[in-house]
Amino acid sequence: MKKLKILSVVIVVFLTIGSQLFAQNNLVGTYLYQGNPSVPLPDIQVELFDTNDDLVASTVTDDEGNYSFEGIPSGEFYIASTTDMSSVGVTLADAFKVLFYLFGWYDFSDMEFEVADVDNSYAVTWGDYGSIMTYIIFNQPFSGGDWEFENVTVDFTARDVGDTISIWGSSHGDVEGEWEPIGRDIALLPSSYYSVQHQAIGTSAEYVIKTEYEGSINGYNLNLAYASNEISIVKLSGPDENFIYSIDDKNGVIKIAWLNENKEASKVNGNHLFTIEIVKLTELAQSSGEEVLYLLPGGVLINSENNKLSETEIKLPFLQNNQMVEVDVEIFPNPSVDYLNFNIQTSKQAIANLSVYDLNGRLITYIDNIDLRDGEKIITIDVVDFLPGNYVYSLSVNGEEGIKMLKGHFVKSK
């Protein structure tokens, strides 16, 4: 009987130790953009490694950002996170926040610090600020990669089975945390036009880009498109040496950014942001009445109180001319998945050209010599192979008395 008791104790001890050694643990959680519950992160590659850097398990987050691991043995682990997602969340407002940090006017949270450290040097410097500005205008990737994720370790010897861990992720440089996942709509600043006179063919003229805001401006970032087959951009002139821009003459896209990098009050007024010099190249351009430029999504205006002016109109030049052909266009479905229809209505016979661009200014689709007759015509384009996101279109309608340009944007969903 005594031996039986001893044997029972040994079995109990073995089972207790064995249950600790061979326990199968579950780990579930959610990836959230900068911890925001309303912005889950799908398609994140989640990998679980042990302390010897051996891969234990891997999975991919679902559309709601959820992940789960089952049957994990007891021990210590860490989570590695990666994604192929692109981001359009880096704006001038993020650069402005980094500028304030460098001036000593703003303290970063731990997460903001990691997101602002775009070169992964463990310090936020003027080099990070310059990289963010360069990314905005030239799309030059960050040396530290596109994304930053929270560092997470898991110790199942000290945690309950079935533990839950939420993890934040962020696009590098998006210090404000206003990234919008691909497929969602992007805010477009309102715009209006003011009339200007035609210059002679082959000569240049300067036009002012301005706003309806009459106060001081501390910074702006605008993306503009133009008909590169009709006009040529010679140069842009801004407030000081901090004004930067890029011109993509192939696709007709201009990107502009300026920030007041001085600690003194800005001297830039909303009624004169910058000047653009344009040459009219063709008789077709000279005889047409059209918008010289039009606004693309993603612009930012910052006033002297460092607030974003999301409802302020951007005023652009319009070449005044009588439009003999009246044109209207409706697009549907928007958002689109497989196809997109352009319902074009005209008052007279005309020939049209249709261009579709992504937000980096790349020409995605071009259809020329569309025969438009009186009444209504529907043009359908296949968008199945388009990546989810925002796109802009330009419809150039050439009638007997001139050209009319119609522009807009649409969303491609999954």
Give residue-wise pLDDT tens across range 258-298: 999 998 999 999 999 999 998 876 654 444 445 678 888 77
**pTM > 0.85:** no
- For the chain, what is the total number of helices (H) and then of strands (E)? 5, 27
DSSP string, 356-375: EEETT--EEEEEEEEEE-SE
Full set of structural domains in the chain with CATH: 1-181 (2.60.40.10), 182-321 (2.60.40.680), 323-414 (2.60.40.2550)
The answer to whether 67 touches 61, Cβ cutoff 8 Å, is yes
Q: What sign does the CA torsion over 194, 197, 200, 204 have? A: negative
Quickly state the pLDDT bin for 2 (edges 50, 70, 90).
very low
Cβ neighbours of 189 (radius 10 Å): 21
390: left (phi over 0), alpha (psi -120 to 50) or beta: beta
- Which positions ≥6 away from 300 have C-beta within 8 Å? 91, 92, 93, 219, 220, 221, 308
Rounded distance between C-alpha atoms, residue 171 and residue 187, angstroms: 18
Give the 3-state secondary structure of residue 326. coil
Q: Is residue 320 scored above 80 in pLDDT? A: no
Q: Is 369 exposed, middle or buried (0-12, 13-18, 19+ CB in 10 A)?
A: exposed
Give residue-wise pLDDT tens across range 116-157: 999 999 999 999 999 999 999 998 999 999 999 999 999 887
pLDDT given for residue 160 in this prediction:
53
pLDDT given for residue 325 in this prediction:
66
- From the list 77, 68, 74, 75, the residue with the least C-alpha distance to 23 is 74
pLDDT given for residue 286 in this prediction:
43
Strand partners, 167: 31
pLDDT given for residue 402 in this prediction:
62
The answer to whether 156 touches 75, Cβ cutoff 8 Å, is yes
Rounded distance between C-alpha atoms, residue 190 and residue 314, angstroms: 6
Please give the single-letter amino acid code of residue 228. Answer: S
Higher pLDDT, 321 or 35: 35
pLDDT given for residue 163 in this prediction:
65
